[in-house]
Amino acid sequence: MKKYKNFLVILLCFVLHFYFDDMYFSKVRAFLDTFILNKGISHNLSYLFFGIPLFIGALIVDKGKNIFKNLGLSQSIIKGLTFSFLCTAPMFIGFAFFFSVNDNISSNEFLISGIAAAFFEELYFRAYLFGLTFKFTRLGFIPAILAGALLFATIHLYQSQDVATLVGIFLTTFIGAIIFAWVYVEWNFNLWIPIGLHFFMNLSWMLFAVSDNALGNTYANVFRIVTIIFIFTLTILYKKLKGQPFYITKKTVWMQNRRANYLNTHC
């Protein structure tokens, strides 16, 4: 019974967050900007404000024990960012050869598309919606990630009006959400890894004139695929080197039978 209660709490708080964010985010950001006079900072503060229902949900589910640990924020930042930079290096190197440097990056774009997009999207979608569902219910990887990945992909569809491009954007972001969730779990719920991957991938897109949407062209996707290969390869090598078992297996894809034991050992 407890597992169903946890899932309902997680889902209800996320629905509240999403509703208020969708309805009032731009108004709150505009209000804050009248005092702060910096859209990027106002954007980040608004994102933080509308996360209150999620923080409450996390506190309810884990009974206030350690919200930072259960959201993956207490893990090593250095390890997360180092791994992320190594994995995304092919994008920076490849883009430097095939695309021109973008001279129009503003501080607001960096704060919004770089910092806010990476930190808050990973915190709210990966750590909260997927992570807490995966940790505090018996749902396996696919059921836990499915709704969040679909929603994560859907909110990026504003980037184009062309049907073919929209399909490409949806598939790209949907697959990205699944990969970020997988690497989050396999690195013992270190949220700084998906945050770092998201940030450096976005940063490479901003530093070079790659594309005006998340789909990109052939060259962009070639180097993005290389980065994905690096993510899987380095993760597999690291876990084998450390002698750590993989948690996402056929036994945990749909339902989990050893959730408590794994969490007590690894988290």
Q: Where in the chain are the domains?
A: 73-266
DSSP 50: T
- Length reported for the chain: 267
> How many other β-carbons are positioned within 10 Å of the β-carbon of residue 245?
10
pLDDT of 13 > 80? The answer is: yes
Helix axes 52-61, 2-36, angle to 10 degrees: 150
pLDDT at residue 17, as a whole number? 96
Q: How far apart are CA 229 and CA 22, in angstroms?
A: 35
Sign of CA dihedral 97, 102, 106, 111: negative
Check: CB of residue 122 under 8 Å from CB of residue 197.
Answer: no
Q: How far apart are CA 104 and CA 81, in angstroms?
A: 26
Q: How far apart are CA 91 and CA 1, in angstroms?
A: 46
Check: CB of residue 191 under 8 Å from CB of residue 127.
Answer: yes
pLDDT digits (tens, 9 = 90+) for 160-192: 777 777 888 788 889 999 999 999 999 999 999
Confidence at 266, pLDDT banded by 50, 70, 90:
very low
pLDDT at residue 43, as a whole number? 98
Q: How far apart are CA 136 and CA 140, in angstroms?
A: 11
Alpha-carbon separation of residue 58 from 8, 129, 132, 178 (angstroms): 12, 10, 8, 21
DSSP 226: H
46, with CB counted inside 10 A (0-12, 13-18, 19+), is buried
pLDDT digits (tens, 9 = 90+) for 108-164: 999 999 999 999 999 999 999 999 999 999 899 999 998 788 888 787 777 777 777
Confidence at 261, pLDDT banded by 50, 70, 90:
very low
pLDDT of 103 > 90? The answer is: no
Check: CB of residue 124 under 8 Å from CB of residue 54.
Answer: yes
